[in-house]
Amino acid sequence: MSESSVERSDPSAGPSIVLVEPQLGENIGMVARAMANFGLTDLRLVNPRDGWPSEKARAAASRADHVIDAVRLFDRLENAIADRNFVLATTARPRDSFKPVRGPEQAAADLRARVAAGQGTAILFGRERWGLNNEEVGLADEIVTFPVDPSFASLNIAQAVLLMSYAFQAAGKAGDTAPRFSAPEAPPATKDDLFRLFQHLESSLERAGYFFPEAKREVMTQNLRTMLTKANFSEPEIHTLRGVIKAFDYEARRARVDHEAGGTDRHPEGEA
C-alpha cells in the first residue's frame, strides 16, 4: 500500500515520526513503543524494506498497538511530509548545508511552539545503517543532532526517536521534569529526637571504650554530633538508628554474660 497524499492529522497530537526506509520490523516496533512512552502516535513509514504490516514490529512494540495500528505507509518521503508545515531531519554527521542545526532541547521547544500555533510538524529518521541522505535532509527546514561522544556517535533508530520524544514531552512541562511519582516524605526528626540519639549513641560508645584517649573525648563527641546533625534524619530514621544501637548493646551485654559464666551460650527466652 502506498499513499500519494495524506489527510491532515491533528497537529496538537505532536510531531509525526517519519522513518525513511527502515530495515527491520523489530526496530519499527521499538520506535512505536518509544513514541507511546511519551504520548506520540503518528508514525509514518517510507518504503520499509520488509514490507508492512509486520508481526515482528507488533511484537517488539510491547502493546503499543494503537501506534502500530495507525501506521501509514508512503512510497516517497515528499508524500509522507506533504501535509506538514515544518520538518526536522535528524543526523549525527555534519552536512554541507546552511540549514540551522539544533540540539534536541532547543528543537523540541521550537516544535512545541509550532504545535501550539496549529502547525503540522514532523521529525525525519533515516536508515539504521547510514541514516538520511543529503537529498532527504534537504527536504527538512532544520537539522537536529544529539550531543553524543563524537568517537561513537551511532544511535539506533529507536534510541534516537526516544530522545526526541522525551525532549518534546519535557519541553511541554515548562521545565518541570519531575518524576511522575515519588516516595512519601517522612516527617523530619525533632531536635529532641536528635539529642536522644546523641545520648544513646554516646552512652553505648562509652561502654565500648570508644572515647580513648580521654583528652580527645570532646573532639570525638563533637565530630559525631556534627555528622549526625548534617544528615537531616527523619523521625523513622532516628528510631531505626536507635534500634540498631540497642541491638548492638544487647549483643555486647550477652557477650559479657557468656564470658562471666565461663563461655556458656545463653539465649533470652523465646530466642532460637
Residue 255: predicted pLDDT: 86
Answer for the pair 225, 177: CB distance below 8 angstroms, yes or no: no
**Per-residue model confidence as pLDDT tens digits over 161-210:** 999 999 999 888 665 555 655 667 788 899 999 999 999 999 999 999 99
**Per-residue model confidence as pLDDT tens digits over 110-124:** 999 999 999 999 999
Answer for the pair 88, 105: CB distance below 8 angstroms, yes or no: no
3-state SS class at 111: helix
Beta bridge partners of 144: 90, 102
**Per-residue model confidence as pLDDT tens digits over 10-26:** 555 799 999 999 999 99
In this prediction, residues 79-99 reach a mean pLDDT of 86
In this prediction, residues 218-242 reach a mean pLDDT of 93
Task: Locate CATH 3.40.1280.10 in the chain.
Answer: 11-171
Architecture per CATH, domain 11-171, reads as 3-Layer(aba) Sandwich (3.40)
Beta bridge partners of 17: 43, 123
Beta bridge partners of 131: 127
| Nearest to 165, CA basis, from 68, 4, 33 | 33
**Per-residue model confidence as pLDDT tens digits over 45-81:** 999 999 999 999 999 999 999 999 999 999 999 999 9
Helix (H) or strand (E) holding 43: strand 43-46
Q: Would you say residue 9 has pLDDT above 70?
A: no
| Nearest to 31, CA basis, from 161, 168, 124 | 161
What nine digits make up the cell of 60? 517488539
Helices (H) and strands (E) in the chain, counts: 10, 7
Q: Would you say residue 268 has pLDDT above 90?
A: no
- Name the pLDDT band for 6 (thresholds 50, 70, 90): very low
- Name the pLDDT band for 263 (thresholds 50, 70, 90): low
Can you tell me which residue has the cell 512545541?
Answer: 112
Reported pTM: 0.69
Q: Return the percentage of the chain with pLDDT > 70, whole number.
A: 87
- Name the pLDDT band for 5 (thresholds 50, 70, 90): very low
Helix (H) or strand (E) holding 248: helix 235-260
For residue 249, give every residue at least 6 positions away whose Cβ sits within 8 Å of its Cβ, in sequence order, or none: 204, 207
Distance CA 70, CA 51 (A): 15
Mean pLDDT, the chain, integer? 87
Answer for the pair 170, 177: CB distance below 8 angstroms, yes or no: yes
CATH code for the part of the protein at 191-260: 1.10.8
Task: Kindly tell me the sign of the dihedral angle through the C-alpha atoms of 204, 208, 212, 214.
Answer: positive
User: Distances from the Cα of 123 to the Cαs of 19, 44, 90, 167, in angstroms?
Assistant: 9, 10, 7, 12
**Per-residue model confidence as pLDDT tens digits over 134-164:** 999 999 999 999 988 777 877 889 999 999 9
Distance CA 177, CA 7 (A): 34
Task: Locate CATH 1.10.8 in the chain.
Answer: 191-260
